[in-house]
Amino acid sequence: MWLESGAEALQLLGDCADGTTPFDVLCVEGAMLNGPNGTGRFHLMAGSGRPLTEWVERLARRARWVFAIGSCTAFGGFSATTPGNPLEACGLQYDGDEPGGLLGEAFVAAGGLPVVNIAGCPAHPGWVVDTLQKLALDGLTAGDLDECGRPLLYAEQLVHHGCSRNEYYEFKASARQHSDLGCLMENLGCKGTQAHADCNVRTWNGGGSCLRGGFACIACTEPGFEAPGHPFQETPKIAGIPIGLPTDMPKAWFIALSVLSKSATPKRVRDNAVADHPVVRPAVRKPSK
């Protein structure tokens, strides 16, 4: 078995782009660089002398389905948030959280779908494989995607779901530093209640996630996550109340429930929240005589 490289690879890509060789799926990774001055010449396809953006546009018109792999390809990501955006970077069909991007808001691939955004920084390999597998076995429809074009097979959940710190969240028992066991939302920047992904259910490398490693979720599957306007691992507040509250609950309800939850926090949860290991074990109930 051999793979095309060099001139052979360029010939194959050219045949796909002009329709000589039909193909089904185009997967693109990395932001689209339109600079300087809209020429795209900041990023040339090696050996071709032509902008990568030109290749992507030509190939996208021939593909039956187009996939943006990662948040940079989906929404522009870090490249697009450099001050002034000198690279003129954008996503395939989004520029930040606004439809548009390189291919334009109206783009629909031959298979009938817009760009499928497998967003994440990085994207979980399971999200990529499972989406392609679903396409191959069952097909993909618009109903399988959310409002940002992300596959619902991972984006219909929040990172908050399955979090090992949920008991601390429920009682609003917050960590003060990253080595603490408590909830990271109140003080340490966690956006797990706002990020659409299944990271704590479909764990990484068989058992990990940002939160299980002691780091706050920075919502890397969301458009604009890379420029939150504050340090990633800090929670901005107004009058002591975090400004980034859960997306699926009215703010007034959350604040009221927080007050009630804190007043009912068990000593075990309160003490363990600010320690790097359990210092109070769950009580053992003696059988009644």
Instruction: Provide the pLDDT for residue 289.
Output: 67
Classify 68 as helix, strand or coil. strand
Which residue intervals of the chain are DSSP H helices? 7-17, 52-62, 71-75, 77-80, 125-137, 152-155, 166-170, 185-188, 251-263, 267-273
pLDDT in tens, 138-187: 999 999 999 999 999 999 999 999 999 999 999 999 999 999 999 999 99
**Pairwise CA distance, residues 172 & 186, whole Å:** 8
Residue 263 has pLDDT above 90, yes or no: no
C-alpha angle 191-228-275 in degrees, rounded to nearest 5:
40
**pLDDT given at position 154:** 97
Q: Strand, helix or coil at 137?
A: helix
In the predicted model, what is the mean pLDDT of residues 276-289? 88
pLDDT of residue 5: 83
Coil/strand/helix, residue 116: strand
In this model, does residue 44 exceed pLDDT 90? yes
Per-residue pLDDT band for 275 (boundaries 50, 70, 90) equals very high
Give the percent of the chain with pLDDT over 90: 82
**1, pLDDT greater than 60:** no
The DSSP-derived string for 166-200 is HHHHHTT-B-SSTTSSSBSHHHH---TTT-B--TT
Query: 36: cis peptide before it, omega within 30°?
Result: yes
Q: What is the pLDDT of residues 211-250, one digit of tens each?
A: 999 999 999 999 999 999 899 999 988 877 777 777 777 7
Report the distance separating Cα 75 and Cα 67, nearest Å. Answer: 12
Q: Is 47 left (phi over 0), alpha (psi -120 to 50) or beta?
A: left
Tens of pLDDT, residues 50-109: 999 999 999 999 999 999 999 999 999 999 998 999 999 999 999 999 999 999 999 999
Exposure on the CB side of residue 198, measured as CA atoms within 13 A: 15
Strand partners, 89: 33
> Can you name the residues that pair with 183 across neighbouring β-strands?
174
Question: What separation in angstroms does the CA of 143 have from each of 4, 35, 75, 94, 99?
Answer: 36, 35, 20, 19, 18
Radius of gyration of the chain (CA): 23
